Structure 1
């Protein structure tokens, strides 16, 4: 079973969306988790943007990185520079990818404009996860 970990600063938006999308897109024999270097709680707009495409992450919890799981992963994906820079050391057997995506939680403007940022980031994550299907 392959293990993948999506990491972000607060495990509230991008990493949560990545976890939800990966569970839908990647093979069922993958163990998929997300976490943060801090705990910020689940962002309701992330929940809403995922619900729009039929993925329910409303019961997810914001979690801190589990070092034991991290050390056993096949792949670690950081979704922000902070997580990449603060991620604990992993064995050389762990492949690391960095997807420097904008933080939709920092978006400003009308509610509609902010939600467009969440959708844009969600769609970018979906595209990148689809490319992972053939990860070896």
Structure 2
């Protein structure tokens, strides 16, 4: 079993934000991380922070305010500051690994009665993302550079390409003439967009007799298919005319089943 990564959360008073972060990380992933907190001018754990944690079902056991001096010299893989002031005041800790700067408004200065609950929710979302990124090894880049988020959204930023992708998500497989009919566009324009989508790794093609059919690449990451599925589900009206033109098309080319 690999050694747990040690994470230190810092804020000035070590009374609410850093305590919340410590408790949340202990709760979310005790298998991969050890969580600690400290402050440059520690006071005591705020009862409102404890209450917010307890309402979320997070244990407050072992939480107490402590100074940076009490943890100086201890090894930490990550030191995360929770406010701009602590980032400025906290000196570099000997033996610390990566420094990360987050900034959350101090709920103690807010007049909002739900300030502590809202701050806890914000920190919770950030901790979940931290766990997701830092608890897993970096995934290897797919052969051929199959589709990063930037490439996907660049492709889908063009309306015609977005409609092509959604139609393929709906119909599984279409040829150029079907897409030409559905989108009411000239064949050369559709072909240019298909070439770009294929070159980006979003689509692949196959020949069946005289026809070339296009489909979403079968090795796409699952999240890409989910993005298209959710977009299609919530924007059916936007695609309605395209689908109706496709379904009303006569003499649609036949196709043999795909090889398994």
Whether these two folds match at TM > 0.5 is yes
Q: TM-score range with shorter-chain normalisation?
A: 0.7 to 0.9
Alignment of 1:82-121 (within 5 A): 82-90=85-93, 94-108=97-111, 113-114=112-113, 116-121=114-119
RMSD: 1.8
Displacement after TM superposition at 1:27 (Å)? 4.1
Matched, 1:26 2:24: no
**Alpha-carbon contact 1:5-1:76 (below 8 Å) kept:** yes
By percentage of residues, which structure has more helix? 2
The answer for the alignment partner of 2:56 in structure 1 is 53
The separation in 2 between residues aligned to 1:82 and 1:14, in whole angstroms, is 13
**Alpha-carbon contact 2:27-2:59 (below 8 Å) kept:** no
Against the structure 1 CA distance between its residues 67 and 93, is the aligned structure 2 distance closer, same or farther, given a 3 Å change threshold?
closer
Displacement after TM superposition at 1:128 (Å)? 0.5
**Alpha-carbon contact 1:47-1:58 (below 8 Å) kept:** no
Unpaired stretches in structure 2, ≥5 consecutive residues = 138-260
Against the structure 1 CA distance between its residues 92 and 123, is the aligned structure 2 distance closer, same or farther, given a 3 Å change threshold?
same
Decide which of 9, 12, 35 is 1:9's aligned counterpart: 12
Moved over 2 A (4+): 90-93
**Alpha-carbon contact 1:13-1:46 (below 8 Å) kept:** yes
TM-score (norm 1): 0.87
The separation in 2 between residues aligned to 1:27 and 1:58, in whole angstroms, is 14
**Alpha-carbon contact 1:6-1:33 (below 8 Å) kept:** yes
Q: How many residue pairs align between the two structures?
A: 129
Aligned to 1:35, what secondary structure does the other structure show?
Answer: strand
Larger radius of gyration: 2
Unpaired stretches in structure 1, ≥5 consecutive residues = none
The answer for the alignment partner of 2:130 in structure 1 is 132
The separation in 2 between residues aligned to 1:27 and 1:132, in whole angstroms, is 13
The separation in 1 between residues aligned to 2:53 and 2:127, in whole angstroms, is 15
Q: Deviations over 1:43-63 (max 9, x none)?
A: 000000000011121651111
The separation in 2 between residues aligned to 1:93 and 1:16, in whole angstroms, is 19
Select the structure with the greater relative contact order (CA < 8 A; seq sep ≥ 6): 1
Displacement after TM superposition at 1:40 (Å)? 1.1
Decide which of 38, 41, 44 is 1:41's aligned counterpart: 44
The answer for the alignment partner of 2:73 in structure 1 is 68
